Chains A and B, each alone.
Chain A
Amino acid sequence: MDYLWAFLAGGALCAIGQLLIDLTSMTPARILVTYVVAGVFLGAVGVYEPYAEFAGAGATVPLTGFGYQLAKGVREAVTADGLIGALTGGLEACAGGITAAVVFALIVALLFTRGDKTAKITGQS
C-alpha cells in the first residue's frame, strides 16, 4: 500500500513541475529552487509533516522533501539550542544528501569523460 501512495504522491509533485515547465517559461533551475523553498515553507507551517507520514518516499524523495528536511532540522535545532539553531539545523539535517551528491559527482567526473557540447564550444576535441 505504501508503494501506491509513494507513486501517486511523488508522481503528482512531478506532474505539477511538468505543468510549470510547459505553461510558464520556468527553467529547470528555477523549478528546483521553487520546490526547495516551497518545501521549507510547507514544512514550517506544519503541512508537510502529515503529508510525509502517509506518502512516505513520495513526499521525501521529491525536492520539496529536501526543503522539508531543512525546516525540520532548523525546528529541532532551535528548540534544542536556541537562536544558533537557525544557522546550524538546516545543513545538519541535509548533510548526507548534499555531501553524497558532491562526492559522487567528483568521482563520476574523475572516471567518465564526455565528448560533449562544451568541447565543441571551446574548439577542443
Chain B
Amino acid sequence: MKLTENEYGALAKRRSPDTKLYKTIPGAFVIGGLICCTGQLLLNLYSSAGLDKTAAGTLTSVTLVALSALLTGFGLYDKIAKHAGAGTLVPITGFANAVVSPALEFKTEGYVLGVGAKIFLIAGPVIVYGLAASALYGIILFITQAV
C-alpha cells in the first residue's frame, strides 16, 4: 500500500489515542505552579537574608537549576515529567533538565564530543534564538534612543 505523506499523517492521527486535555492541562498547571512556588520560597528566603533583588533572583535560578540537575541525575525528574508534561518543561528546571539529560545520555560517546557537545543539544537553540532576539532588540532600542 502506497501512501502520500498527507494520507499517512491522517492515518497516524486517527490511530494514535486522543490526548486527554482534561488530564494533561491540570497536571501541567499544578506541577508548573508548584515549581514556581518553590522559586518564590527561595526568592523570599534569599531576600530576607539581605540579598538585593537581582542577586536573589540569580541565586534562585541557580538553586532551581542545581535541584533539577540532581533530580535528573537520579532519574526522578523524568518520572515527574511523565505526569507534568509542559509543567516540568517550561520552568527553568526544564531548561536545566534539557542540559543535563543529553550530557548523561551521551556520556558513552566521550567527554568532548559526547558530554561537551550534547550539553547544548536543546539549550543551544534556546540560547541562539534568545540572544539573537535580544541583540535585535538592542539595535532597535539604540536607534530609537538616538532619534
Contact = CB atoms under 8 A, between A and B. Distances in A.
Nearest to B106: A118
Contacts of B36: 6-7, 9-11, 57-58, 61-62
Given A3-B40, A22-B19, A74 B134 contact: yes
Contacts of A62: 32, 36, 90-92
Is the interface on chain B under 10, 10 to 19, 20 to 34, or 35 or more residues? 35 or more
Contacts of B73: 108, 111-112
Tell me the interface secondary structure of chain B in the complex.
helix
A32 B7 CA distance: 30
A70 B131 contact: yes
B99 A105 contact: yes
Contacts of A87: 135, 138
Is the interface on chain A under 10, 10 to 19, 20 to 34, or 35 or more residues? 35 or more
Contact of B133 (A9, A58, A67): A67
B89 A108 contact: no
A120 B32 CA distance: 32
Contacts, number: 284
A82 B73 CA distance: 43
Contact of A14 (B19, B62, B90, B142): B90
A68 B65 CA distance: 18
Contact of A112 (B37, B58, B104): B104
Nearest to B128: A33
Nearest to B84: A14
23 contacts: A3-B37, A3-B40, A11-B29, A14-B84, A15-B28, A15-B86, A17-B89, A19-B25, A35-B90, A37-B133, A57-B40, A67-B133, A70-B133, A75-B138, A77-B138, A83-B142, A86-B137, A97-B62, A97-B95, A102-B119, A109-B103, A109-B111, A113-B104
Interface of B: 19, 21, 24-25, 27-44, 57-62, 64-66, 69-70, 72-75, 84-87, 89-96, 98-100, 103-109, 111, 115, 119, 122-123, 125-127, 129-131, 133-135, 137-142, 145
